[in-house]
Structure 1
Amino acid sequence: MEGANPGFDTIRAAIGLAQRAPSVHNSQPWRWQWMNDELHLYADTARHLSATDPQQRAMVLSCGAVLHHMQVALYALGWSSAVERLPDPEVPEHLARLRLAPREPTAADIDMAAAMLNRRSDRRRFRWGEVPDFYLRAAAQFGTRFGATVSTVSRTDHPALSALIRRAARQHEEDVLYQIELAEWSGRRGARDGVPARNTAAVHADDALPGRAFMDPVLLDPTAAPDAATWLMISTTADDRSAQLRAGETLSALLLAATDLGLATCIQTEPLGLPELREEIRFEMCDGSYPQVMVRAGLTTHAAPLPETPRRRPEDVLAYALPQS
Structure 2
Amino acid sequence: MAQAHPDPDTVRSALALAVRAPSVHNTQPWQWRIGDRTVHLYADDTRQLPLADPDRRDLLLSCGAALHHFRVAARSFGWHTVVHRFPNPAEQQHLASIEFTATTPTSDVIATARAITRRRTDRRRVTSWEVPPTHTRHIIEAGTAEGALVHEIAGGGTRTRLVQAFQDAARLHRDDARYQTELALWSGRHVTPEGVPARDAVTATDPLTREFRSPELTEAVIHDLDDRGVLLLVHTGADDPLSRLRAGEATSAVLLAATTFGLATCPLTEPMELPDTRDLVRADVLSDSGFPQLIVRIGWAATSAAQVPLTPRRPLDNVVRPL
TM-score for the superposition, normalised by structure 2 = 0.96
| Cα deviation, residue 137, structure 1 | 0.7
| Cα deviation, residue 188, structure 1 | 2.4
Secondary structure at the aligned position of 1:244 is classed as: helix
Question: Do structure 1's residue 289 and structure 2's residue 290 form an aligned pair?
Answer: yes
Instruction: Show the counterpart of 1:153.
Output: 153
1:229/1:298 contact within 8 Å kept: yes
Deviation digits for residues 290-313 of structure 1, max 9, x if unmatched? 000001111111112111111112
Deviation digits for residues 195-234 of structure 1, max 9, x if unmatched? 1111111110xx4x43111001001111212153211100
Question: Do structure 1's residue 77 and structure 2's residue 69 form an aligned pair?
Answer: no
Separation (CA, whole Å) in 2 of partners of 1:94 and 1:178: 28
Matches within 5 A, 1:82-231: 82-156=82-156, 157-204=158-205, 207=206, 209-225=207-223, 226=225, 227-231=227-231
Secondary structure at the aligned position of 1:155 is classed as: coil
* Matched AA of 1:13: S
Matches within 5 A, 1:303-318: 303-318=305-320
For the aligned residues, what is the CA RMSD?
1.3
Instruction: Show the counterpart of 2:53.
Output: 53
| Cα deviation, residue 2, structure 1 | 7.9
Separation (CA, whole Å) in 2 of partners of 1:108 and 1:155: 31
Gaps of 5+ in 2: none
Instruction: Show the counterpart of 1:63.
Output: 63
1:236/1:243 contact within 8 Å kept: yes
1:16/1:313 contact within 8 Å kept: no
| Cα deviation, residue 3, structure 1 | 2.3
| Cα deviation, residue 192, structure 1 | 0.8
Separation (CA, whole Å) in 1 of partners of 2:62 and 2:202: 22
Secondary structure at the aligned position of 2:165 is classed as: helix
Instruction: Show the counterpart of 2:245.
Output: 245
Number of residue equivalences? 318
Secondary structure at the aligned position of 1:123 is classed as: coil
Q: Give every structure 1 segment of 4 or more consecutive aligned residues whose post-TM-superposition deviation is greater than 6 Å.
A: none
2:208/2:268 contact within 8 Å kept: no
1:267/1:294 contact within 8 Å kept: yes
Separation (CA, whole Å) in 2 of partners of 1:33 and 1:306: 31
Gaps of 5+ in 1: none
Secondary structure at the aligned position of 1:285 is classed as: helix
Separation (CA, whole Å) in 1 of partners of 2:181 and 2:197: 16
Instruction: Show the counterpart of 1:266.
Output: 266
TM-score for the superposition, normalised by structure 1 = 0.95
Deviation digits for residues 154-184 of structure 1, max 9, x if unmatched? 1121211111111111110111111011101
Secondary structure at the aligned position of 1:99 is classed as: strand
2:86/2:95 contact within 8 Å kept: yes
* Matched AA of 2:218: L
Separation (CA, whole Å) in 1 of partners of 2:8 and 2:94: 21
Separation (CA, whole Å) in 1 of partners of 2:252 and 2:102: 23
Separation (CA, whole Å) in 2 of partners of 1:27 and 1:61: 12
* Matched AA of 1:214: F
